[in-house]
Amino acid sequence: MPQHIAVIMDGNGRWATKRALPRKAGHKEGVKTLLSIARHAFERGVRYFTVYAFSTENKFRPADEVNALVDLIREHFSRSFNDFVKSGIRVNVLGDRQFFPDDVIAILDKIENESKEGDKGTFNIALNYGARAEIARAINLLVQSGEEVTEQSISRYLYTANQPDPDIIIRTGGEKRLSNFLLYQSAYTELFFSDTLWPDFSKNEFDEILVKFHDRNRRYGKV
């Protein structure tokens, strides 16, 4: 079983547009899929589950859509995500939360604090996250610490410090790129691309990817 699976949840906007709904309706549906797939991943034995929920670029979308995403974050981090905490999952935010309103920052801090002893798994949610910004931040912290700059010391200052690198990154929605997600951590990650729009992504498709992962031969540059 892969230890760490990460997901780029793409296609919410198109899912909504196809139904003549506003884009924010796609994000609302996308959260339902997120909750169901995350639960399923932990039930399957995955230890680390990471999702790209809000990129550093997403904040430049129209205010109506940004506000809808912030509202969903406010709502779900104070309610549905607590079910994960109750089952021993540690909730961890990757990214620069200072962008969000104070009440949202407080909600994020609270759930992280309350779940930090969770030992059944780690649920990373990337919010106002960009991998290049993450690497630049890590190097700044590292230089300030006076430690030697090595591959391992950089890792320790990333938002995913002390976590294994992702075994799998899944991107839904048809595009085949990483879009500034986990660039440092994905050096040897197996990539899976699906044409399914995120709100339609199913547990069944997730399981099919697990089967395909087992068929891949990971050589890490060796023979």
Applying CB under 6 A, which residues contact ligand FPP?
9-14, 27, 30-31, 34, 53, 58, 69, 72-73, 76, 125, 173
State the catalytic residue, choosing from 10, 12, 124, 128.
10
CB of residue 36 to ligand FPP, shortest distance in Å: 12
Decide: helix, strand or coil at residue 17. helix
Residue 127: its H or E element = strand 121-129
- Which lies closer to ligand FPP via its Cβ, residue 14 or residue 203? 14
- Long-range Cβ pairs for the range 99-102 (8 Å, 24+): 99/59, 99/128, 100/70, 100/73, 100/127, 100/128, 101/70
How far apart CA 204 and CA 223 sit, in angstroms, is 33
- For this structure, is 58 an active site residue? yes
Q: CA-to-CA distance for 155 and 12, rounded, in angstroms?
A: 31
C-beta closer to ligand FPP: residue 34 or 94: 34
- In the complex, least distance from residue 1 CB atom to ligand FPP, rounded to whole angstroms: 24
Catalytic residue among 12, 58, 102, 180: 58
**Looking at beta carbons only, is 32 or 216 nearer to ligand FPP?**
32
Q: How far is the CB of 9 from ligand FPP (least distance, A)?
A: 5
Q: Which residue is nearest to ligand FPP (CB)?
A: 13
User: 29 and 199 in contact (C-beta within 8 Å)?
Assistant: yes
Rounded CA separation 61/177 (Å): 20
Minimum CB separation from ligand FPP for residue 197, in Å? 7
* Backbone CA torsion sign across 202, 2, 133, 117: positive
Nearer to ligand FPP, 69 or 138 (CB): 69
Active site positions, annotated: 10, 58
